[in-house]
Structure 1
Amino acid sequence: MLLRKYMSKIGIGSATVDLVLDKETYSPGEKVTGTLYIKGGTIPQKIKQLQCDLMKINNQADQQSIASITLFAPDIIDPADCAKIPFEFVLPNLPATTDSLTYRFKTTLVFEEGIDSLDHDTIQILKNKPSGGENDEKIMEKNSVHL
């Protein structure tokens, strides 16, 4: 048991997080939906935080967090557990994806002890359509309400 606890602290056999999106292509202002899965590792682990960042990547080198949301997660994940958490996020008005500009969700499962579990999900943003349009402040307000 002690060996499994130590291994889990260095990331071997620890709980994992996986964001599964309903689709990969979106328009600015569209709602992104999916499910977050937290799968238990070899020992029970205390979860400190579950966070998802929308990242903007320019030329594969420059990464910037556009928005960050904290999600509700169980306090402890046991070895046999698989928690399912609904995911919703309304995209702000963003430039379209290009060869040099991409977007992804970076999901981080932070433990009380041990190495964080990460998941990355790339999305494609289509060219902006004219709309009656909500501004980014209202969109971000919606994101905080839907958590």
Structure 2
Amino acid sequence: MILRKYMALIGIGSAKIDLILENEIYMPGELVKGYFLVKGGTIEQQLKRIECDLVMTMDNNEEKDEEVIDSVTIFTSKLIESDTTNQVPFTFRLPESMHPALSASYRFKSRLSFKQGVESLDHDVIQILAESV
């Protein structure tokens, strides 16, 4: 049991997060709906918060620039039991100012932060369409 606890502290067998979205293609200003799927690891872990950033990546030939457009944080002290699955609802209003661009891509970057242990990360790419005229 002690070995499993220390392995979870360094990220092996710790709880995982997966953002499940209803769609992958959105319009500027649209409401994004889904849920965080939190899967317990080999031991129980005390959750501190769930963070989710909307990130824009610009591909400028030789380098990629990342910009966090907006963030959502859910503070919690929920105990994630080992080998369990939990769902946490997710809604996010995309900014009206978002526009599709050939050199830009958008993604949600989700993180589980624990009282002890390594953060769990997830990335979900979305596509932004131009508004119809």
The Cα shift of 1:75 comes to 1.5
Q: Structure 1 residues 20, 87: closer, same or farther in 2, change over 3 A?
A: same
CA shift, 1:72, in A, is 5.1
2:78 corresponds to 1:85: no
Equivalent pair of 1:9/1:114 in contact (CA under 8 Å): yes
Deviations 1:71-92 (A, max 9, x none): 2555210003211111111100
Report 1 or 2 for greater relative contact order, CA contacts < 8 Å, sequence distance ≥ 6. 2
Separation in structure 1 between the aligned mates of residue 35 and residue 53 of structure 2, nearest angstrom: 15
How high is the TM-score relative to the length of structure 1? 0.83
TM-score, reference length from structure 2? 0.91
Distance in 2 separating the partners of 1:106 and 1:10: 20
- Aligned residue pairs: how many? 129
- Aligned CA RMSD, in angstroms, stands at 1.4
1:68 corresponds to which residue?
71
Structure 1: any 5+ residue segments left out of the alignment?
131-147
Where do 4+ consecutive residues of structure 1 move more than 4 Å? none
Tell which deviates more after alignment, 55-64 or 30-39: 55-64
Aligned counterparts of 1:74 and 1:37: Cα–Cα separation in 2: 16
> Who is 1:101 aligned against?
104
Q: Aligned residue for 2:125?
A: 122
Taking the TM superposition and a 5 Å limit, the aligned residue runs for 1:5-16 are 5-16=5-16
Per-residue CA deviations over 1:43-70 (Å, capped at 9, x if unaligned) read 0001111011000100171111100111
Q: Is 1:18–1:37's contact at 8 Å kept on the other side of the alignment?
A: yes
Letter in 2 for 1:96: P
**Contact 2:48–2:75 (Cα < 8 Å) also in 1:** no
Closer, same or farther: CA 62–24 of 1 in aligned 2, 3 Å: same
